[in-house]
Structure 1
């Protein structure tokens, strides 16, 4: 099951149900904006990463990444198991294998837990969607360390944020991305999941006053007849949507907001020059964006959008500079340090996860 660790690094078994490349349009996989960043950082640090779920890049998107990354169908020898946590989705991964619409992510995750974790292999359970119940026995499992992409993780869990590559942060030019006209005052990119209350409060009223677009899977929209829903768009289009918009609103499910769990939307927007208006109800909001971008209501959002549209380019660049400074929270090298700290201290033979 495990191999002898050498000075060259660890062999990490990594379980993900998503894509490393652009993937396909009809899928909810926000990890595409940061997953490859973390994996490439681990590899650059001298570690070997083996993916333990299906190669969806190849089978669904037709993107062959096998010369760059490694997938394994069986149960290879590894030193550490990292799980991007999967949860039961009725009618999808809870159905029998082979049934139409079935995905085998949950069954495979159970196999990995049974084979590796139950035999004592150090396991990092990255609960990227805040789906692991507080009472779940896995939180007390001696081989498991729970991590969450939150500034204030749940009791017993640790912080591991979605990473941005160091070179992306270091090369960011606020003045360059602030330049030029933008067609849309307001945009939102993301799916509906558990965001109705935030959308009602902070976005929908502003959409009544400003031209806007909403891209993502929104299936129950009758309560917002004035909102322009464009449906899902290809991942490669997301940057263009932000580059053509003055502002966005960072809408979070309540379970994210109370933990300071910020999604990848913040850096997707900032790096494209789109200013992220942020509800004050998000815990530690001032650590994510400057207070001048905080909003308290839908009318406040609308007013701030108006001011941002009239803002001189140099002032927009200054705001983006302040936003970029706060993106340091997500710097890859910092997250690799956090990941290193999550490895069990008793495993003294493990090499560092940082260069």
Structure 2
């Protein structure tokens, strides 16, 4: 595939910092990914509303093209949305309704099913049912942000900008003073068991903080929860913390799907500890950072505190940075280019209608 394509991109989130009350992890990488796709020679038109402007009053997305209709495109690319009761399954006029799912359905019906437009479904949350007909549709490629995706799906990881990796200074990060020993940034969703096993027991003994939406925080009275924080505060929290634990829902851990938290932490010099239950865990962190329980977490953070600022600490951060190579933006864009090339086969002229 060596020619320009027009990609209709559907996402429900933000390109900038957005609003605080949102779980949109895509903010860490979405804009860089889009810019790289355009840098590879493709045109991108966004097919969901400009939430940066409408909800955050931020004009960060002004340079991009948004279209609420059904413009002519060569490929439909959608960050998968799923039914959420009381939110996107209600009538469009209902209080609290979000129209992400309705719009995605409209796009799939028009492009994928009616026109036969080649389509990519990026199932970033692993919420596309195994029996969904899209998985068997000959014109659809399903991608997951996992090292061992569902059979039939392709791997497309959350990307981190190559330049950020190249610019990172392990010695400088190791020398940085840090207020907290342990931190976690992220929401509670399906993480209770992992939190019980790895984070809470260690947090009882060291200065720590947990940022995110944790509706059942009362279950852990000894843990210091600070609630949701602005996206701009995430890097600050990691920068003032010695270590974090990479807590994953079981559906992520089983296939080696790591969230963007790993590179957000490492780029701030916050050392990531990874549960041994994560598939392919050795591809994410050095062996000495793989933990079996809260005692392992506590032993690791004690070592880190005792060796803060030393050459050994810097070497460990350097090793963590090296592990992030698998997430490199250039690698993920090349993976997408390969998929686009496979989809770029002769097809009915109707698929390009409206160009």
* TM-score category of the 2 structures, normalised to the smaller one: over 0.9
User: Which residue is 1:342 aligned to?
Assistant: 339
Cα drift, residue 6 of structure 1: 9.2
Q: What is the match of residue 318 of structure 1?
A: 315
Distance 1:6 1:159 in 2: 21
Query: Where does residue 201 of structure 1 map in the other structure?
Result: 197
State the shift of 1:98 in Å.
1.4
**TM-score, normalized by length of structure 1?**
0.95
CA shift in 2, pair 1:181/1:158, >3 Å? same
Comparing 235-244 and 178-187, the one that deviates more: 178-187
Give the corresponding residue for 1:169: 165
Shift in Å, 1:312: 4.2
- Whole-Å Cα distance in 2 between the matches of residues 117 and 172 of structure 1? 42
Q: Distance in 2 between matches of 1:65 and 1:74?
A: 22
Equivalent of residue 39 in structure 1, options 34, 55, 64: 34
* Cross-structure match for 2:231: 235
Q: Where in structure 2 are the equivalents of 1:208-219 lying within 5 Å? A: 208-219=204-215
1:75 matched to 2:70: yes
**Match 2:147 to one of 145, 151, 156:** 151
Does 1:123 pair with 2:119? yes
Partner of 1:301: 297
2:157–2:332 Cα contact (<8 Å) kept: yes
For residues 213-264 of structure 1, give each alpha carbon's deviation from its aligned partner in whole angstroms, at most 9, with x where no partner exists: 0000000122211001100000000000000000000000000000000000
Correspondence for 2:93 = 98
Asked whether the 8 Å contact 1:151–1:259 carries over to 2, the reply is yes
Q: In the aligned structure 1, how far is the partner of 2:234 from the partner of 2:326?
A: 22
Give, in angstroms, the shift of residue 54 of structure 1: 1.0
Task: Give the distance between the partners of 1:207 and 1:6, measured in 2 at CA.
Answer: 52
Aligned residues: 345
Equivalent pair of 1:123/1:144 in contact (CA under 8 Å): yes
The counterpart of 1:134, out of the listed 125, 130, 134, is 130
How far is 1:44 from its partner?
1.3
Question: What is the Cα-based RMSD across aligned positions, in Å?
Answer: 1.4
8 A contact 1:124–1:147 mirrored in 2? yes
Q: TM-score, normalising length from structure 2?
A: 0.95
Runs of 4+ in 1 over 4 A off after TM superposition: none
Aligned to 1:189, which of 177, 185, 188?
A: 185
Q: Distance in 2 between matches of 1:175 and 1:116?
A: 51
- Once residues 211 and 346 of structure 2 are traced to their aligned partners in structure 1, the CA distance between those partners, rounded to angstroms, is 47
- How far residue 180 of structure 1 moved from its aligned partner, in angstroms, is 2.3
The farther-off stretch of 56-65 and 305-314 is: 305-314
CA distance in 2, matches of 1:339, 1:253: 26
Partners of 1:187 and 1:212 within 8 A in 2: yes
> Displacement of 1:65 after TM fit?
3.1
